[in-house]
Structure 1
């Protein structure tokens, strides 16, 4: 009762929740039907995915499988050399839909991690890779968010996480975001009770270092020194092993290739801007100079990092910490594709669980619904060419997380004041 009165006074009144357990399951079931329709229309338009003018499901995974094949049957240099890798992909896949224009953009750590993929046929390993990623992300997200408890122990909680749009979009491409998001979720889950295990897990994000950019800052905010040390050890060991396998030259070529990608894709490709929920993409699409776009991206990134620091310093609630981390990570990076929004699934699940457990604050449900649908919007925006709303939605999600922390602080102060008043009456 006191919490509701407090929210009424602070302007964050508790409202009736239209996001109920039943409706959430219904919306997820509706999305499953939509997924089937999308795949069916895609198969029809591409004549069973044989039309070379159209991409196929698992297009990005084909790159991973090709890199594994190149490492197992040649060397890492064959993968990092753009001309050799392009030739290898054409040899492996005769019906490549378009010219390969991008080099291998991942560090040696990821190349070593995916090296077993080519041991089995591409289609088989595509389902193994995607299925394993969905299982990992679902398990980590459910543990961080406590969504299963919010659903009163219902198994539908697994369904809600596994069929969310952010998972579907990533699975379509066979991207590694399910894997990186699952690693982040498990790290957050183990942070309080198993700090060393959390750090060792965090070190695996060396496969995509830009997605771990805020973890050190927030671990310092939480004074999680053992986790930070274990993460540094794990990442360093992983890096050394990868260099031993791939060679020192692979590190240099990795930076060369990422430089090429920055110049040709990040800074100049409109198709990327339409599908990227970043401030940089919005400004470049609007015609802003590259320097101005990077400057604005840096400013928003600093604001997001400061907000996440505030959350981690002022609450120990894992759901709020996880939500602030993943959203701030997406806002900080200038290079974020629609499939990277798999990370956003951790935040939406956590905020849904908070709303179901503690009641909804004004505007929360609408923001969560927008965030839940954002990956689909970004997926089709390369065709629709609508305004890029991604950064606005992400900033709104971060705002409701910060507001939740403020409400918790006010509730704590209110309880302290009531306890002091009660003690004073007893003394008198």
Structure 2
């Protein structure tokens, strides 16, 4: 089921032999249901393990993991203590007062606009707030995915491995996916609403790198204006509520965290799946890693811009934005790949209109889905970061699809 009408002239159905190469849908559904059951059990075990001593594992991690950052930031902001959010020592002190002293130094790496967006979390006590956060962000993701995947959305939204990783980490991957995927689906239907959604990504701007390229190349001016206005209003509102000094503290923290987490590669490097981190783990310098990352970003921007400029079918344009973003940004963690579920749906939609073997589509979809549970394990085992290798084949497949479409539909 597709949510965007495609040009009737590009209806090149697969041959029976090619279609037979694809995985059996019933087998995939059974595997997905088994995975969901195992993921739920693993998640409950993880939560129990993080409640051994108070609301911690007694070593370094709190109940809900990174959610402690979102709830603590929202609570402090709601109670007029926003300045403490970007003070590492004060923030750690508050978090330990919530869950107990046996946790590492967690940090708030987001701009003050997220304090505004997550303020309602602080109305609810910490433990139930975790489940409100996970359920509400999942539901937004599911509702957006339903526009693309139809009746298959529920199963996919629960079975996508990135959702499990996101839940374990108490993270925001589902929220980002709902905003980006939902916005893309609304670009041609409700451009103002799409722009407003994209403007919300000011809380995580490194995952919006390809959106300006796509919208400008595609001449979606209402989207561009709505996104810009939304972002500016959010920044202005955060300054009015918390004061401009909080933004200065945030900028200071970003420079520190960029060095420690990204450039030095200490801590969670094995969860990072960007080109930059891959080059760093191969021994490249910071300068070389940024240079290689820049080349990938330029290549992604060229392909994305060209596709939107030529108005390729929606399933190609949208998927290129998602996969191109994953190749373009230097800071990308496995939980961010929840949005990859949209790319999987659009790839499978494209399969219905292509003569390319179904095996390539299955492989591309499998790589995007498997990355969040495979990449970290491979990284820990090998000491290297393989994240980009999961994105490059689907990106090449999308380039091939765009070329196939243009051959079948030459400019008049």
Q: How does 1:17-36 map to 2 (within 5 A)?
A: 17-36=21-40
Question: Structure 1's 132 and 40: CA in aligned 2 closer, same or farther, altered over 3 A?
Answer: closer
Q: Which residue of structure 2 lines up, in the alignment, with residue 424 of structure 1? A: none
1:104 Cα deviation after fit: 2.0
Q: Which residue of structure 2 lines up, in the alignment, with residue 159 of structure 1? A: 155
Give the distance between the partners of 1:268 and 1:367, measured in 2 at CA.
Answer: 31
Report the TM-score when normalising by structure 1: 0.86
Q: Which residue of structure 2 lines up, in the alignment, with residue 403 of structure 1? A: 400
Q: Which residue of structure 2 lines up, in the alignment, with residue 193 of structure 1? A: 189
Give the distance between the partners of 1:41 and 1:201, measured in 2 at CA.
Answer: 35
Q: Does 1:129 align with 2:129?
A: no
Give the distance between the partners of 1:122 and 1:310, measured in 2 at CA.
Answer: 46
Give the distance between the partners of 1:190 and 1:274, measured in 2 at CA.
Answer: 34
Give the distance between the partners of 2:10 and 2:309, measured in 1 at CA.
Answer: 22
Give the distance between the partners of 2:352 and 2:167, measured in 1 at CA.
Answer: 28
Q: How does 1:168-183 map to 2 (within 5 A)?
A: 168-183=164-179
Q: Deviations for 1:14-33, whole angstroms, at most 9, x for unmatched residues? A: 45333233232122112213
Q: Which residue of structure 2 lines up, in the alignment, with residue 109 of structure 1? A: 113
Q: Deviations for 1:258-296, whole angstroms, at most 9, x for unmatched residues? A: 000011111112443322111111111122111111111
Provide the aligned length of Structure 1 versus Structure 2. Answer: 400
1:379 Cα deviation after fit: 4.3
Larger radius of gyration: 1
Q: Deviations for 1:70-119, whole angstroms, at most 9, x for unmatched residues? A: 11223211112222112111222214332x1x542110111111112111
Q: Which residue of structure 1 lines up, in the alignment, with residue 365 of structure 2? A: 368
Structure 1 runs (4+) greater than 4 angstroms displaced:
2-8, 43-50, 356-360
Q: Which residue of structure 1 lines up, in the alignment, with residue 5 of structure 2? A: none
Question: Structure 1's 20 and 54: CA in aligned 2 closer, same or farther, altered over 3 A?
Answer: farther
Question: Structure 1's 189 and 6: CA in aligned 2 closer, same or farther, altered over 3 A?
Answer: closer
Question: Structure 1's 313 and 348: CA in aligned 2 closer, same or farther, altered over 3 A?
Answer: same
Q: Which residue of structure 1 lines up, in the alignment, with residue 297 of structure 2? A: 301
Q: Kindly indicate whether the alpha-carbon contact (under 8 Å) linking 1:280 and 1:293 is maintained by their aligned counterparts in 2.
A: yes
Q: Which residue of structure 2 lines up, in the alignment, with residue 96 of structure 1? A: 102
Gaps of 5+ in 1: 149-154, 417-428
Q: Does 1:213 align with 2:209?
A: yes
1:37 Cα deviation after fit: 4.6
Q: How does 1:186-335 map to 2 (within 5 A)?
A: 186-335=182-331
Q: Kindly indicate whether the alpha-carbon contact (under 8 Å) linking 2:142 and 2:157 is maintained by their aligned counterparts in 1.
A: yes
Q: Kindly indicate whether the alpha-carbon contact (under 8 Å) linking 1:4 and 1:14 is maintained by their aligned counterparts in 2.
A: no
Give the distance between the partners of 2:299 and 2:326, measured in 1 at CA.
Answer: 12
Question: Structure 1's 93 and 222: CA in aligned 2 closer, same or farther, altered over 3 A?
Answer: same
Give the distance between the partners of 2:56 and 2:250, measured in 1 at CA.
Answer: 32
Gaps of 5+ in 2: 1-8
Report the TM-score when normalising by structure 2: 0.89
Q: Kindly indicate whether the alpha-carbon contact (under 8 Å) linking 1:210 and 1:333 is maintained by their aligned counterparts in 2.
A: yes
3-state DSSP of counterpart to 1:59: coil
